[in-house]
Amino acid sequence: MEVEEESGVVIIGGGICGLATALALHRNGIASVILEKCQNLRATGAAIVVQPNGWRALEYLGLGVASLLR
């Protein structure tokens, strides 16, 4: 049996972080799919904290702030 290999990213959560990540991946030619449990949009959310090493890793991968501003 042949197994078809696909590559891409699954993003859990369609909040601001999930959507920004999907946008950055898309702009860098990486396919992604967002999984969100809520059926409706909400005006509330939560904040996240990304430590300096996390930002450096995102920049190295081409997914940092600079890639979002393109």
The structure's pTM equals: 0.57
Tell me how far apart the alpha carbons of residues 20 and 10 are, in angstroms, rounded to a whole number. 13
Q: Hey, what amino acid is at 49?
A: V
Q: Beta strands of 1-70 (E only): which ranges?
A: 9-12, 32-35
Name, in order, each residue with C-beta under 8 angstroms of 32's C-beta and a sequence gap of 6 or more. 8, 9, 10, 11, 21, 22, 25, 26
pLDDT for residue 3? 66
- The pLDDT tens digits for 8-37 are 899 999 887 888 888 888 888 889 999 999
Q: Where are the domains of the chain?
A: 9-68
